[in-house]
Amino acid sequence: MISASRIFFFATLLVASTASAATPAENWETHCAGCHGADGKAQTRIGRKAGAKDLTDKANQAKLTDADIMKLVKGGRINAKGEEKMESFSDRLSDAEITALIQIVRNFAK
């Protein structure tokens, strides 16, 4: 039989991990907006330098599937010269968090 103290410990751990999870909007602000901008237009200093795509442009969005975006976010982007243009987020964002970010990206082109 599981003791009441163990149940309390695991319940507290579950609540703490759930409470600390960032929302999709917080993840966008933390991990994406620096380059892509809060509005997705990539008109930040870093975004222009890195060649970040304007995510409000329907033509840009039509070129990418959700799987393409998932791969880019997880693996990052390296240009033809071997320069990192977008860092990998596979160590900081789960697949579920990236999927939520993809929905934010898709909403920019609506």
Q: What is the pLDDT of residues 23-63, one digit of tens each?
A: 999 999 999 999 999 999 999 999 999 999 999 999 999 99
Closest CA to 74 of 59, 86, 58: 86
User: Where is pLDDT greater, at 29 or 1?
Assistant: 29
**Residues shown for the chain:** 110
Task: Evaluate whether residue 4 is within a structural domain.
Answer: no
**Does any domain span residue 70?**
yes
Whether residue 82 has pLDDT greater than 60: yes
Please report, rounded to a whole number, the percentage of residues in the chain having pLDDT higher than 90. 80
Does residue 1 belong to any structural domain of this protein?
Answer: no
What share of the chain has pLDDT > 70, as a percent?
82
Domain hosting 91: range is 22-108
CATH (domain of 97): 1.10.760.10
Per the confidence metrics, is the pTM higher than 0.85?
no
CB 91 within 8 A of CB 100: no
Overall domain count for the chain: 1
pLDDT class of 3 with cuts at 50, 70, 90? low
The CA angle 14-17-19, to the nearest 5 degrees, is: 105
| Rounded Cα distance, 39 and 9, in Å | 42
How many Cα atoms occupy the beta-carbon half-sphere of 5 within 13 Å? 0
